[in-house]
């Protein structure tokens, strides 16, 4: 009986959906679009056909044979696009970079023409006042052009090139190599590759220019928070086109079709939900999964609670500890007097997969640095998890400046170090300690809980993935994790395969935040200052400067912080293979800071120095 209903409804639904979509598509911007060898890309890039959907139009996306071209400036030239890297994208962060080829410079370098070193390289478009985004060159360095009659004697670690007609060229991949002997020479700033080959200046400099895109706060807020589109008016001044103003331009016919279609679709959906709901009650797939799970796992340590018991334990949900996307957490007390944290999951979120995942994952674990699951509840659509209570709450409360004011306690370096070690031990256990390898996929300060002695415990296994030990890499569907902590390979397979090293990346990001006591990515700084904390600290570390962080009181604090910074930077290497395994991380944390090697500079980072005219090119 119900299957007949379903068939009719599905037919109606499928018939109407294309209509609705067709009407909607007219103005809706696609969240991402495929573009040949560039893979899927998204805002601020856009298709040339949809200049209203982004700031940087890309042509030839639908033609597999033609090179993709990008226009960097309204009515400007088109340049071949080499690659696109979009690592993070969320309301607060948007780190986007791309590499385009400057054909003019390309031919000069290819033909080993010394004119390539004639001038500082600047982005090939004029300044303008369209305040929507800034573009700047990611990697560049200074070359020294020295008149031969000067007979300079530069330091021996500099490379030289003596075949240009009028001058000798000196350069180095360490752009800080200012040397008094080169004072009389002319400086030329040129873009370089992220891993330059220094033997020949024509391959050392590059015409494939790695360019970082930084949205202005106004544009980021417009696009990510208000759901609008960043646009420039005829005078190239930024304005935010919101859904309302876009809809206003649609004809009333389209609006009517859309409205009607939506109304019918919603009505049908409601009917379907009703049908499913009735059936679901009879045969709850989650319950079935739990039964299978219980059969497979044998008797659990974890107790199964009725919903009424949960209500009693939490005193009818009186004391709320927190709220997240998953639901809410309440403080409770078990009959035996132990305090617990009860996580109530929102209803109808999914088919219960995350829930089963969490129960299955944690009930297998037992480690001092992993939160202890005492019980769970699964009754109808009500689901809850009962954990041991952690009196100091989550780590996030203690490390970010804005929160610390509320908790009036700042963690000292020793405690931070202790926490870093604890979390690494917990992760090591997950990755290696149990029968199966568990990948957490959502390591961040939020998910690290602290007991009364500030011992850290990893929590929130909603996204975890269990693999057999033999699987060294895994496949996952859909992006997992939290922006700012997700490893690049989880975002795009171009960066490598997803593995336990993805957790190491998130761990590294977290360690750097703990050390810096700030979010790694802030948008509320202007474009000439360092936006990206890992970059900033890397530069300090590399040049052996004082780290200048708060709370470093003595030399041993300084050593701890330096050590954690180096480890953090190793962990956030772009390529998973360059990152250490978590056991290696523990080894590094335990060794002397003098013995640690400074890692290569992480991939998406700011230029080493910031001459104002190069760092603030405005689109
Ligand atoms: C690109 O997007 C399409 C749908 O928009 C999706 O099916 C495909 O898996 C995506 N490809 C990658 C590599 O993410
Ligand atoms: C390039 O820029 C640097 C730093 O701004 C400046 O000192 C130098 O004179 C410039 N060189 C040329 C060839 O314009
Ligand atoms: C190099 O220096 C000599 C003598 O100072 C001068 O005559 C010559 O024009 C200079 N060459 C260049 C290319 O600047
Ligand atoms: C250039 O570099 C080579 C090898 O490093 C060195 O032997 C030579 O003396 C250098 N020449 C100049 C003019 O500095």
pLDDT of 241 above 60 = yes
Quick one: tokens of 273?
A: 């939900």
- Ligand 3 atom 11: the closest Cα is on which residue? 147
Of the bound ligands, which one is closest to the alpha carbon of residue 152? 4
Distance (angstroms) between ligand 1 centre and the Cα of 478 equals 10
Q: What is the dihedral of CA 492, 493, 495, 499, to 10 degrees?
A: 110
Mean pLDDT, to the nearest integer, of 394-419? Answer: 78
DSSP-derived 3-state class of residue 411: coil
How much of the chain, in percent, has pLDDT values that exceed 70? 69
Report how far ligand 1's centroid is from the alpha carbon of 219 (Å). Answer: 26
Atom of ligand 1 nearest to the CA of 30: 5
Closest residue by Cα to atom 1, ligand 3, is: 147
CA of 147 to the centre of ligand 3 (A): 6
What is the reported pLDDT for 38?
81
Q: What is the pLDDT of residue 288?
A: 61
Coil, strand or helix at 191: strand
Of 231, 377, 230, 226, residue with least CA distance to 307: 377
Residue 212 counted as an annotated binding residue:
no
Span 254-265, average pLDDT: 73
Give the atom of ligand 3 at the shortest distance from the alpha carbon of 150.
2
The pLDDT of residue 613: 23
Give yes or no for residue 252 having a pLDDT over 60. Answer: no
Taking residues 489-512, what's their average pLDDT? Answer: 83
Q: Compute CA distances 267 → 25, 274, 280, whole Å.
A: 21, 11, 20
Q: How far apart are CA 260 and CA 587, in angstroms?
A: 63
Is 147's C-beta closer than 6 angstroms to any atom of ligand 3?
Answer: yes
- Is the beta carbon of 40 within 6 A of some atom in ligand 1? yes
Ligand 2 in reach of 182 Cβ (< 6 A): no
DSSP 8-class letter at 507:
H
What are the tens digits of pLDDT across the range 96-119?
788 899 989 999 998 899 999 998
Residue 166 annotated to the active site: no
Q: From 187, 176, 181, 203, select the one nearest 145 (Cα to Cα).
A: 187
pLDDT tens profile 581-612: 999 999 999 999 889 998 888 755 332 222 22
Q: Note the pLDDT tens digit of each residue in 311-354.
A: 999 999 999 887 765 678 899 999 888 899 998 877 654 556 66
Ligand 2: distance of its center to the CA of 77 in Å?
25
Q: d(Cα 79, Cα 91) in Å, to the nearest integer?
A: 29
Q: Is the pLDDT of residue 150 over 80?
A: yes
- Residue with the larger pLDDT of the pair 247 and 369: 369
Domains identified in the chain and CATH numbers: 27-249 (no CATH), 289-388 (3.30.200.20), 396-615 (1.10.510.10)
Phi, psi for residue 16 in degrees, rounded to 5: -80, -30
* Number of neighbours of residue 555 by Cβ within 10 angstroms: 8
Whether the Cβ atoms of residue 453 and residue 482 lie closer than 8 Å to each other? no
d(C-alpha 60, C-alpha 74), whole Å: 17
Could you list the beta-strand ranges (E) of 281-326: 303-305, 320-324
> Does residue 251 have its Cβ closer than 6 Å to ligand 3?
no
pLDDT of residue 560 exceeding 50, the answer is yes
Count CB atoms within 10 A of the CB of residue 357.
Answer: 16
* Ligand in nearest proximity to the CA of 491: 1
Task: Indicate the range of 161-170, 294-303, 428-437, 453-462 predicted with least confidence.
Answer: 294-303
Q: Do 465 and 378 contact (CB within 8 A), yes or no?
A: no
Ligand 1 in reach of 34 Cβ (< 6 A)? yes
Among the listed residues 168, 208, 442, 460, the single catalytic one is 442
Q: Residue 342 in contact with residue 330, Cβ under 8 Å?
A: yes
Q: Which atom of ligand 1 is nearest to the CA of 34?
A: 1
pLDDT of 524 strictly over 50: no
Ligand nearest the Cα atom of residue 188: 2
Residue owning the nearest CA to atom 10 of ligand 4: 160
Identify which of 149, 152, 164, 169 to mutate to test ligand 3's pocket (most ligand atoms within 8 A of the CB). Answer: 149
Atom in ligand 1 nearest the alpha carbon of residue 39: 13
Residue 39 beta carbon below 6 angstroms from any ligand 1 atom: yes
Residue bearing the CA closest to ligand 4, atom 11: 160
Ligand at shortest distance from the CA of 495:
1
pTM score, whole prediction: 0.48
State the distance from the centre of ligand 3 to the C-alpha of 144, rounded, in angstroms: 15
Residue percentage of the chain with pLDDT more than 90: 15
Any idea which residue has 């090293």 for tokens?
Answer: 501
CB atoms closer than 10 angstroms to residue 231:
20
- Tell me the pLDDT tens digit for each residue of 4-29: 445 444 544 444 554 444 444 445 78
C-beta of residue 355 within 8 angstroms of C-beta of residue 286: yes
Burial of 23 (0-12, 13-18, 19+ CB in 10 A): buried
- Ligand 1 contacts CB of residue 495 (under 6 A): no
Q: Is the pLDDT of residue 30 over 70?
A: yes
The DSSP code for 370 is B
Average of per-residue pLDDT values in the chain: 75
């Amino acid at each position: 009986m119900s299957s007949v209903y379903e068939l009719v409804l599905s037919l109606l639904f499928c018939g109407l959906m294309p209509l609705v979509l067709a009407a909607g598509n007219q103005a809706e911007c696609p969240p991402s679009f495929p573009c040949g060898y560039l893979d899927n890309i998204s805002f601020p890039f856009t298709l040339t056909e949809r200049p209203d959907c982004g700031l940087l139009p890309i042509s030839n996306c639908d033609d597999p044979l033609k090179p993709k071209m990008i226009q960097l400036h309204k009515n400007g030239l088109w340049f071949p696009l080499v690659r696109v890297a979009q690592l993070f994208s969320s309301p607060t962060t948007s780190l986007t970079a791309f590499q385009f080829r400057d054909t003019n410079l390309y031919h000069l370098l290819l033909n080993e023409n010394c004119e390539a070193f004639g001038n500082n390289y600047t982005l090939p478009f004029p300044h303008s006042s369209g305040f929507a985004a800034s573009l700047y060159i990611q990697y560049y360095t200074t070359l020294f052009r020295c008149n031969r009659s000067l007979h300079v004697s530069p330091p021996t670690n500099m490379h030289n090139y003596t075949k240009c007609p009028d001058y000798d060229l000196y350069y180095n991949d360490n752009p800080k190599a200012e040397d008094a002997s080169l004072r009389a020479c002319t400086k030329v700033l040129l873009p370089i590759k992220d891993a330059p080959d220094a033997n020949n200046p024509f391959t050392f400099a590059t015409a494939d220019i790695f360019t970082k895109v930084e949205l202005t706060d106004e544009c980021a807020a417009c696009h990510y928070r208000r759901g609008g589109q960043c646009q420039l008016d005829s005078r190239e001044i930024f304005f935010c086109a919101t859904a309302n103003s876009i809809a206003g331009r649609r004809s009333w016919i389209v609006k009517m079709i859309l409205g009607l279609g939506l109304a019918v679709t919603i009505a049908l959906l409601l009917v379907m939900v009703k049908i499913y709901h009735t059936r679901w009650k009879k045969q709850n797939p989650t319950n079935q999964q739990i039964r299978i799970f219980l059969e497979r796992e044998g008797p659990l340590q974890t107790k199964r609670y009725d919903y009424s018991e949960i209500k009693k334990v939490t005193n009818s949900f009186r004391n709320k500890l927190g709220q997240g996307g998953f639901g809410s957490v309440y403080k409770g007390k078990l009959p035996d007097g132990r305090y617990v944290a009860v996580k109530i999951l929102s209803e109808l979120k999914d088919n219960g997969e995350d829930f089963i995942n969490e129960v299955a994952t944690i009930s297998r674990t037992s480690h001092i640095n992993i939160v202890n699951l005492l019980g769970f509840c699964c009754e109808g659509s009500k689901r809850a998890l009962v954990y041991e209570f952690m009196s100091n709450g989550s780590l996030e409360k203690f490390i970010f400046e804005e929160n610390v004011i509320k908790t009036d306690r700042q963690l000292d370096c020793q405690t931070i170090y202790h926490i870093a070690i604890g979390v690494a031990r917990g992760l090591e256990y997950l990755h290696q300690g149990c029968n199966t390898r568990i990948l957490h996929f959502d390591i961040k300060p939020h998910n690290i809980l602290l007991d009364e002695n500030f011992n850290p415990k990893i929590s929130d296994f909603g996204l975890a993935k269990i693999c057999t030990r033999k699987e060294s890499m895994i496949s996952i569907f859909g992006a997992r994790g939290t922006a700012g902590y997700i490893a690049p390979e989880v975002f795009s397979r171009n960066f490598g395969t997803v593995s336990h090293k993805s957790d190491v990346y998130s761990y590294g990001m977290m360690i750097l935040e703990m050390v810096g006591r700030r979010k790694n990515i802030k948008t509320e700084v202007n474009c000439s200052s360092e936006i990206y904390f890992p970059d900033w600290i890397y530069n300090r570390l590399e040049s052996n400067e004082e780290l200048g962080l708060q709370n470093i009181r003595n030399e041993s604090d300084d050593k701890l912080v330096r050590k954690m910074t180096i480890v953090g930077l190793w962990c956030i290497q772009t390529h998973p293979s360059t990152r250490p395994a978590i056991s290696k991380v523990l080894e590094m944390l335990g060794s002397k800071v003098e013995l640690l090697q400074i890692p290569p500079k992480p991939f998406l980072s700011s230029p080493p120095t910031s001459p104002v005219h190069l760092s603030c090119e405005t689109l």
